[in-house]
Amino acid sequence: MTDTLKTSVAIQAIGPRGRRRAPSGVRWGSPGVYLLAVILITICITPVLYIIVGGFRTNSQITTDPSGWPAPWEIGNYTDVLGSSEFWTAMVNSTISAVGTTFGAVLLGVMASYVIARYDFGGKAIMYSFFAAGLMFPITVAITPLYLLIRNLGLVNSLAGIILPQIAFALPTTIIIWCRSCGRSRKNLRRQHRSTVPRDSDSSGEW
Closest to 131 measured CA to CA, from 142, 144, 143, 116: 116
Closest to 172 measured CA to CA, from 122, 136, 147, 125: 136
Q: pLDDT tens digit string along 133-165? A: 888 878 788 888 889 999 999 999 899 999 999
Predicted local confidence at residue 23, as pLDDT: 54
Q: Which of 98-102, 176-180, 203-207 has the highest mean pLDDT?
A: 98-102
Q: Is the pLDDT of residue 4 over 70?
A: no
**pLDDT band for position 13 (cuts 50, 70, 90):** very low
pTM score:
0.62
Contact in structure between 178 and 109 (CB atoms under 8 Å)? yes
d(CA 99, CA 167): 11
Contact in structure between 207 and 194 (CB atoms under 8 Å)? yes
Q: pLDDT tens digit string along 62-87? A: 888 888 888 888 888 899 888 889 99
Q: pLDDT tens digit string along 100-127? A: 999 999 999 988 888 888 877 888 888 8
